[in-house]
Structure 1
């Protein structure tokens, strides 16, 4: 079966916020763009799941706020291993990208005619722009409409990219698989932008969409791209455990946590965060809070559903109504039968965000010419821990940069595709699928995925140590071998989700292995990476980034000292 072939100047892989911005900015350079989304464009991915905050130093809430102030907060939050050139770029350009959204028709909550800006943990001043508790869906809807307005972008939905081939002499290629009808599409492009997000689905407790399986980072690694900071996985400290809050998302409890008077109790009724860190509400970043909550649960002080209590029942009813009036939050909870004025919420820790990914420069370029990346698929912007509200604005900056410079790069390329290769290379993947479907029994992809989630939660979760890491690597190696010889997929050519699961399983094994290798190498605790056997930061040895790259069938690992062009580390 011959594959469909599609030619374009720029191929954008991933249709979330970063991908949409990349496509928009590539068209500003007059280029033809193919945007490939594994799900439904505008509905899939993690941008649409963003609940509340998008930070930028607009200075509306406090004129003292500046990009420099935002930069300093971000570097401190990242424990000084961020790429300072990238953070400087991000904090300077974020205000313009927010206003670009407004020019596209984005709606934000206003105060005195200007964007209202709220306080978030780890920030020294209020700079979080928001729209109700639907900031992410609003942003994604705005960007999707903008993309649809231009004929220069062709959107491919329900297509997963399964292979990338970079060609130094001419065009680059990517093999796509449309899982709705099991058809192959080979994309030929002069430049490729990867904006596929992170991979928190490798953990059994997570806040992300089901398609957040590390595909793009895995594909880039296989193509020879250098990865950095992959050991740093952010865990969200207070995701919903009980009761369920339908329609409000897993991170809905953040609004309780960040308002006046909220307390965290363990099962013994101990207000453990006030004891550990008075004034923790805006001072305790997500890494610190997650580790404290995890410790309460691990030491036997967790609630019946395996969490801790987030409680505001001690506050007067009028205070609760006033504090939670933004987005009619209190009324929404009442509408689903949850009255937070008398009932605490049980919350737990869940995997949330990858700080690591492809190493890129200010233009979004990787070490492979013609291959660019942006959004959660890249490293450098957030260091060892991301501040709340920085993700939604960072994807705008890094996505626009990657798209613009990919288009400029494409303008310098004149190579033609190898039609024979284009028509034939997908056949090895076609044969692999037939082999999977030919097995009547074996490892089901969903079973393998669940095994990974258990392995990673135990070996590379909130708290790690050398023994757990080594055990996890052994279990992943065994699972990789089993998947290579015994993976079995249900026959069927229409909307066969198991084929997609099989592709994702292999990415998840690869990404999980890389995380464990990097976590084993970093013999200290920093930000979201906490090791019981090395419980303290080691600035003498580990103000450094761990860089991973494919080397034959193995992985090369090296460290590079962090540069400090704008701000020196603090004691």
Structure 2
């Protein structure tokens, strides 16, 4: 992170990758179905044979026959109140789909809080101010005007790792040096206007649109916001297979690659590298299949679950319960956690799960969005339990995971918290990489342009 090593397109990098991917998919005539909500993965004898869902427009149930499934449904950062995720993404559905199919969840407690999420307007709270703002020379200041990163990382200052910057901002706010609205200031107004307009065009436009704020003249009020799930579905580091035959996970839905703290720029690169690896391995798996049994009972179970939500008499609303869950996670599993807070969160989650059992979806003439929200909530509740239970067992501070009652990193906890609905949390120590593999990795680093630059 000490070197400028990220490929970027202003602060529209992700959008440009998406456009390129869609253009290439169209060239290859890859069918893209974007109105189907998947509620269950279909499994028979420990092997994937498809997926079940419904059309959000008209509610028609859909069975998709698939010899392999690659989960790319994101993480679970939407279960916090302030999040950079859009309204209906990263609700934990990838966790639920995998867990119900027999896969395990790894390191759910490792959630990166980005240092710079907007505080207002309320409907846009958590919207990200790009990392590029600090990368281009933006400065963080508290309500007293102090450039407070001098206290936390005097060498790297605002270019410190996200977990340290987020913790610093959180500490300033918690100790009373934050703004009246509960944030700190990110200031780029000292930079040349031309630099801001060329390198931070989206940030400039977003703040004009949302707040009528001209960042070339005024600082931006920000606070830590849930941004990235390092944890996710347990996958093999070589193939990204989940341990369930035919089920793979990629990107934020998967876990393991980023350890306890993802470095900026690494998630989009991860998709390009492991997208190719995972796609190739999934294709090899399918080509090697001799037979595949499809189980009507698995389809019937998925159908019954959906019908229960549509025909039930419960009075609970998915959206209202989702808000309660987000408040719970923000209060008890935010930037800094404690034993007492996590146990209180689990007790509240027990109560909330009782209310979820009384849930009913109410589609209307506009479509079946309410049914999708109900399944979003199912995923969020499962992801919240995995997160709280794993965070409780990780009695240390490591990377993004901060425990006020265990402020030090503990060598005996260098490993993974692996969670499943039946077994709860199991700790798995990290095995040492073979000496020859570590030597090869070091040689690749030394031979790379960044390695030579460091010399």
Tell me, yes or no, whether TM beats 0.5: yes
> Offset at 1:165?
2.6
Tell me the equivalent position of 2:73. Answer: 196
Asked whether the 8 Å contact 2:42–2:299 carries over to 1, the reply is: no
CA gap of 1:242–1:193, structure 2 versus 1, over 3 A, is closer
Asked whether the 8 Å contact 1:230–1:518 carries over to 2, the reply is: yes
Tell me the equivalent position of 2:326. Answer: 453
Tell me the equivalent position of 1:226. Answer: 104
> Offset at 1:525?
0.2
Given the alignment of the two structures, is residue 257 of structure 1 paired with residue 257 of structure 2, yes or no? Answer: no
Tell me the equivalent position of 1:397. Answer: 273
Given the alignment of the two structures, is residue 530 of structure 1 paired with residue 406 of structure 2, yes or no? Answer: no
Tell me the equivalent position of 1:288. Answer: 164
Given the alignment of the two structures, is residue 205 of structure 1 paired with residue 64 of structure 2, yes or no? Answer: no
Asked whether the 8 Å contact 1:170–1:415 carries over to 2, the reply is: no
Tell me the equivalent position of 2:3. Answer: 125
Tell me the equivalent position of 1:58. Answer: none
Given the alignment of the two structures, is residue 366 of structure 1 paired with residue 242 of structure 2, yes or no? Answer: yes
Distance (Å, rounded) in 2 between the aligned partners of 1:227 and 1:269:
43
Distance (Å, rounded) in 2 between the aligned partners of 1:156 and 1:282:
41
> Offset at 1:387?
0.3
Distance (Å, rounded) in 1 between the aligned partners of 2:123 and 2:7:
24
Tell me the equivalent position of 1:482. Answer: 355
CA gap of 1:359–1:422, structure 2 versus 1, over 3 A, is closer
Which of 168, 176, 198 pairs up with 1:326? Answer: 198
Distance (Å, rounded) in 1 between the aligned partners of 2:204 and 2:281:
46
Tell me the equivalent position of 1:56. Answer: none
Distance (Å, rounded) in 2 between the aligned partners of 1:333 and 1:222:
39
CA gap of 1:495–1:365, structure 2 versus 1, over 3 A, is same
SS of residue matched to 2:403: coil
Distance (Å, rounded) in 2 between the aligned partners of 1:402 and 1:428:
32
Distance (Å, rounded) in 1 between the aligned partners of 2:109 and 2:208:
41
Given the alignment of the two structures, is residue 519 of structure 1 paired with residue 391 of structure 2, yes or no? Answer: yes
Tell me the equivalent position of 1:277. Answer: 153
CA gap of 1:219–1:244, structure 2 versus 1, over 3 A, is closer
CA gap of 1:448–1:514, structure 2 versus 1, over 3 A, is same
Q: Which runs of 5+ in 1 are unaligned?
A: 1-122
> Offset at 1:134?
1.4
Tell me the equivalent position of 1:561. Answer: 430
Tell me the equivalent position of 2:382. Answer: 510
Asked whether the 8 Å contact 2:310–2:360 carries over to 1, the reply is: no
Which of 60, 75, 86 pairs up with 1:183? Answer: 60
CA gap of 1:507–1:265, structure 2 versus 1, over 3 A, is same
Distance (Å, rounded) in 1 between the aligned partners of 2:246 and 2:3:
39
Alignment TM-score, normalising by the size of structure 2: 0.87
> Offset at 1:500?
0.8
Asked whether the 8 Å contact 1:162–1:175 carries over to 2, the reply is: yes
Alignment TM-score, normalising by the size of structure 1: 0.70
Tell me the equivalent position of 2:372. Answer: 500
Between the two proteins, the alignment pairs up a number of residues equal to 431
Q: RMSD of the alignment, in Å?
A: 2.6
> Offset at 1:515?
0.5
SS of residue matched to 2:61: strand
> Offset at 1:277?
2.1
Asked whether the 8 Å contact 1:257–1:281 carries over to 2, the reply is: no
Distance (Å, rounded) in 2 between the aligned partners of 1:463 and 1:372:
32
Distance (Å, rounded) in 2 between the aligned partners of 1:299 and 1:141:
43
SS of residue matched to 1:388: coil
CA gap of 1:129–1:292, structure 2 versus 1, over 3 A, is same
Distance (Å, rounded) in 2 between the aligned partners of 1:430 and 1:321:
53
Distance (Å, rounded) in 2 between the aligned partners of 1:375 and 1:334:
29
> Offset at 1:415?
2.5
Q: Which runs of 5+ in 2 are unaligned?
A: 440-455
